Structure 1
Amino acid sequence: MRTIQRMYEHLNWANHRILERLHNNKNEDQQVLDLFSHILYAEQVWITRLHGIDSSQLPIWSEANISICAELVRKNQGSFTAFFTNLTSADLDSLICYRNSKGKEFKTSIEDILTHVALHGQYHRGQINSRLRANGIEPVNTDFITFVR
Structure 2
Amino acid sequence: MSKTDLFRQMATYNQWINDSLYEASTRLDAGELARDRGAFFGSILGTLNHIVVGDTLWLKRFATHPSGTETLRAVSALPAPSSLDQILFEDFRKLHEHRRWLDGEIIRWADGLTEADVDQVLAYRNSKGKPFNKRLSYLILHFFNHQTHHRGQISTLLSQAGVDIGVTDLVALIPDE
Scaled by the length of structure 2, the TM-score of the pair is 0.74
Q: Which is worse superposed, 121-130 or 73-82?
A: 73-82
Matched residue type, 2:15: N
What stretches of structure 1 of length at least 5 have no aligned partner? none
- 1:56, 1:99 within 8 Å by CA — same for their partners in 2? no
1:106 aligns with 2:132: yes
- Does 2:93 correspond to 1:67? yes
Asked whether the 8 Å contact 2:11–2:110 carries over to 1, the reply is no
Q: Aligned-residue CA RMSD in angstroms?
A: 2.2
Partner residue, 1:28: 32
Deviations 1:48-70 (A, max 9, x none): 10011699932432223312321
Supply the AA of the counterpart residue of 1:62.
Answer: Q
Q: Is the 8 A contact 1:39 1:121 kept in 2?
A: yes
Q: CA offset at residue 22 of structure 1?
A: 1.2
- How many correspondences in the alignment? 149
Report the secondary structure of 1:29's partner residue: helix
Instruction: Write 1 or 2 for the structure with the bigger share of helix.
Output: 1
Separation (CA, whole Å) in 1 of partners of 2:140 and 2:106: 10
Instruction: Give 1:93 shift.
Output: 1.1
Between the aligned residues of both structures, percent identity stands at 25
The runs of 5 or more residues in structure 2 that have no matched partner are 35-42, 65-75
In structure 2, distance between residues paired with 1:145 and 1:111: 21
Q: Deviations over 1:61-116 (max 9, x none)?
A: 22233123213312312322232243211111111111111111111222111111
Does 62-71 or 40-49 show the bigger shift? 62-71
Following superposition, the deviation at residue 11 of structure 1 comes to 0.8
Q: What CA distance in whole angstroms lies between the structure 2 residues aligned with 1:140 and 1:107? A: 39
Structure showing greater radius of gyration is 2
Extract structure 1 runs of 4+ deviating beyond 3 A: 53-57
Q: Partners of 1:120 and 1:45 in 2: how far apart? A: 12
Aligned 8 A contact 2:10 2:144 in 1: yes
Correspondent of 2:20 among 17, 21, 33: 17
Work out whether 1:38 is the aligned partner of 2:50: yes
Q: Compared with structure 1, are the counterparts of its residues 81 and 96 closer, same or farther at alpha carbon in structure 2 (3 Å cutoff)? A: same
Q: Which amino acid aligns with 2:174?
A: V
Tell me, yes or no, if structure 1 residue 3 matches structure 2 residue 1: no
